[in-house]
Amino acid sequence: MSDTDKPALTNAPQMYVHYCEEEGCTEWGGWGNSPSPAVQTRWWCFEHFPHKSHEQEQMLRRKLEASERGNVVQ
């Protein structure tokens, strides 16, 4: 099959919008997880994502503490 055999794109692609599943959080849910293809994916923001590694958790904690002090951490 070549590109010339495909029909032209007639509609713009639709963007999927996922928000964090944590109660009261309105952040973008860019971190998804599903135990299998048969189970619907659940989405969280990074702060509420329950499957972070220890290193990711420590980095988040440092960033949150720095933002409370008014410092910027890259």
Three-state secondary structure string covering 5-73: HCCCCCCCCCCCCCECCCCCCCCECCEEECCCCCCCCEEECCCCCCCCCHHHHHHHHHHHHHHHHCCCC
Per-residue pLDDT of the chain (74 residues; tens, 9 = 90+): 566 677 777 777 777 888 999 999 999 998 888 888 899 899 999 889 888 888 988 988 888 888 888 766 55
pTM, 2 dp? 0.58
Q: Where are the domains of the chain?
A: 15-69
